[in-house]
Amino acid sequence: MVVVAVAGHEMWIPLLLLPWLWLTFVPGPHVAHAIKLTGLRVPKYAILGQSVRLECPYEMEGDELYSVRWYKDGNEFYRFVPRDKPEMQVFPQRGVSVNVHNSSNNHVTLETVKLSTSGKYLCEVSAEAPDFQTVSQHGEMVVVVLPDEDPIITGGKARYQINDYVRVNCTSGRARPAAQLAWYINSELVDPALLRRYPTIVSFPDQLETSILGLEFRVKQKHFRRGDMKLKCLATIHNVYWKSNEESVENDKPQKAPILESRKSGLSSSSSSSSSSVTRADRVHAGNGATGVHQDLDRILLLLCALFSLVLVTSHHR
């Protein structure tokens, strides 16, 4: 059996290697002289006010570089030509502000991005004579306005009884694009049937958007873990913003008086447990004080009795 299996592997390995051998050693168009863009990097999302680095690495494959050009929405804003003096040229375009101290042949840095910086960015690399070959790649970038505040939860109560309705809202801070909201009960994403969707509020004139997502359900025993239920709202904007808010809710059981009493005594004993030795000493001291008062009262009573009998005796004698 073993021998057969090994023999099988020996048959398979050369078969699997065949396509690799073909790609490596059979000449084709992919090994001809050709500029190669090796990893254009235009971030999908940039944050308002921050700077952004666009990268356009390339391999000349034996050719000579003539130029690297960058375009936003079809308009050239940056040119790098090694033969020219200066090598670098910047053309004003709406929403684009190039930091020339941090730009070169294979990257450009855009300073303090604005909403108008969003757009399609294209990098184009050209070769010198005799090939004059030109290659390009592009990517879309969206400028994001982060929310001005964390998501907030409203409408909740501190305690719920079984069969009560929970009706709460989660409201994001003003942002662009609008934050995506999600509700979790005890860290579990809730059933969409429990969600109440409301239209996004667009503020004027900045066009920032506020999202609201409601959660509505009837409380069941299963919602409480050790008498506690956690309601969490998570707000996200693509992969650049991720903030949550959580509220802890107690199970408010209708309880009978004795249970409440025992709970109270339990509480008072636990509150003094941190200084139990002191408390005990206090109690002993208090006990002594009480007996002291008692003894004094006895004496006063005795004295009063004596006085009373004396008065009785003297009045009787008259």
**Binding residues vs ligand NAG (CB under 6 A):** 53, 99, 101-102, 109, 154-155, 167-169, 198, 212, 214
Say how many C-beta atoms besides its own lie within 10 A of residue 298's C-beta: 10
- Residue of minimal Cβ distance to ligand NAG: 155
With a CB cutoff of 8 Å and minimum separation 6, the contacts of 141 are 42, 43, 44, 45, 46, 52, 117, 118, 119, 120, 121
Q: Which is nearer to ligand NAG, 102 or 161 (CB)?
A: 102
Closest distance to ligand NAG from the beta carbon of 169 (Å): 4
Q: Which amino acid is at 289?
A: G
Q: Which is nearer to ligand NAG, 41 or 280 (CB)?
A: 41
Q: How far apart are CA 145 and CA 115, in angstroms?
A: 8
Q: Which helix (H) or strand (E) holds 156?
A: none
- Short-list 72, 88, 65, CA closest to 122: 72
Angstrom CA distances, 80 to 58, 77, 84, 134, 196, stand at 13, 11, 8, 14, 53
Q: Which is nearer to ligand NAG, 126 or 232 (CB)?
A: 232
Q: Which is nearer to ligand NAG, 75 or 107 (CB)?
A: 107
Is-contact 157 150, C-beta < 8 A? no
Q: Which is nearer to ligand NAG, 168 or 235 (CB)?
A: 168
Q: Which is nearer to ligand NAG, 210 or 251 (CB)?
A: 210
What single string gives the DSSP state of each residue in 224-278? -BTTEEEEEEEEEETTTEEEEEEEEEEE-----HHHHHHHHHHHHHHHHGGGHHH
Closest distance to ligand NAG from the beta carbon of 214 (Å): 5
